[in-house]
Amino acid sequence: MIIEEYTIGQLAKLAHCKVQTIRYYEQKGLLDEPVRTLGGQRRYYEAALGRLKFIRHGREMGFSLDDIRELLQLSALEGHDCKQVDAIASAHLARVESRLKRLQSLKGELTRMIDSCQHGEVGDCRIIEVLQDHNHCGHEHGEIEKI
């Protein structure tokens, strides 16, 4: 059986990411330090590619690095109850739902600002007025922060 090995550039290409992303995940402890050649080049194997794809997909779905770290640890416990995995995914879903609510509020506020614009001079612009004075907003302060 031939074992495939990849350079960091090949691994990045296969995982559709940048070399810097791989180094970052190594620094964060999500990817194991690779084997190095005598010349110091990193060498990766299929397990690293699978792990990297897992991390990338988790990030695309918005999971935090801490969540992904915990999910990776749990994924190694075959036969183990998946309650913890469910809890992590449920907590993430709650954060997504909260963010969607804040985005809907932001959309409403932006729509109100634009609809109330008279397209006149900047000195009379409703959008500028609302941005300068929060009292003119139609949402609660902090409701749409950190979107």
Q: Do residues 20 and 65 both lie within one domain?
A: yes
Domain that holds residue 130: 83-136
Q: Do residues 123 and 65 both lie within one domain?
A: no
What is the pairing mode between strands 35-36 and 42-43? antiparallel
Query: Nearest CA to 138 among 121, 115, 119?
Result: 115
Provide the mean pLDDT of the chain.
87
37-84 pLDDT, tens digit each: 899 898 999 999 999 999 999 999 999 999 999 999 999 888 888 999
Predicted local distance difference test score (pLDDT) of residue 142? 55
Q: Do residues 50 and 70 both lie within one domain?
A: yes
Predicted local distance difference test score (pLDDT) of residue 114? 83
Q: Which CATH number covers residue 41?
A: 1.10.1660.10
Predicted local distance difference test score (pLDDT) of residue 62? 96
Residue 97 lies in a domain: yes
CB 8 within 8 A of CB 32: no
Predicted TM-score (pTM) of this structure: 0.77
Confidence of residue 137 (pLDDT cuts 50, 70, 90): low
Decide which of 24, 53, 75 is a domain's last residue: 75
